[in-house]
Amino acid sequence: MTGYDNHRGIQAVGIVSLAAAALSLFAVVFRLPFFCRADTEGPPLTNLRYDEDYSYLRNPEARSGQWWEPLKFIPLTERSYLTLGSELRLRSETITNDNWGLGKDDGYLWFRLLPYVDLHAFESFRLFGQLIMAEAVDR
């Protein structure tokens, strides 16, 4: 690989990172109205997935018809249910002037997918599991 080829790879990672950042900003500003309706409100989002509680979806009248509701409340018995979900993280990392300028500049993109399952059984039993799948592009 020549220095020119590596530079093109860093440019590609930069473009993908910029596109991901722009899409994220667009989603935050406009709240993706195609998927979300402003007249309905779900539970508050938390930093820790195992703190989320979707038991209110047991009542069919509490449902709003959101696309994610069938995944967040899967009834198993009258007193237990399952919640499925996932989180996707994109992160760009750029290294410049590595080793006080003696090393080469480098850049890459991290993809992380974190699927999880949350089992609520009865009042006192809960089982939460989360996996991570990670990949670095152009590293």
pLDDT of residue 101: 74
Structure confidence at residue 66 (pLDDT): 87
**What is the predicted pLDDT for the residue at 12?**
54
Q: How far apart are CA 119 and CA 71, in angstroms?
A: 12
**pTM for this structure?**
0.60
- H or E segment and range at residue 136: strand 133-137
pLDDT at 18: 62
**Closest alpha carbon to 126 in 82, 86, 85:** 82
Nearest Cα to 85, choosing from 118, 56, 58, 120? Answer: 118
- Measured between its terminal Cα atoms, the distance across the chain in Å is 13
Q: What are the 10-residue block averages of pLDDT along the chain, 139 residues in total?
A: 49 59 57 50 71 86 87 91 91 82 82 92 90 86
Note whether 6 and 104 are within 8 A (CB): yes
Ordered DSSP codes for 79-130: TEEEEEEEEEEEEEEEE-STTTTTS--EEEEEEEEEEEEEEEETTTEEEEEE
Residue 13: the pLDDT is 52
Domain ranges in the chain are 3-137
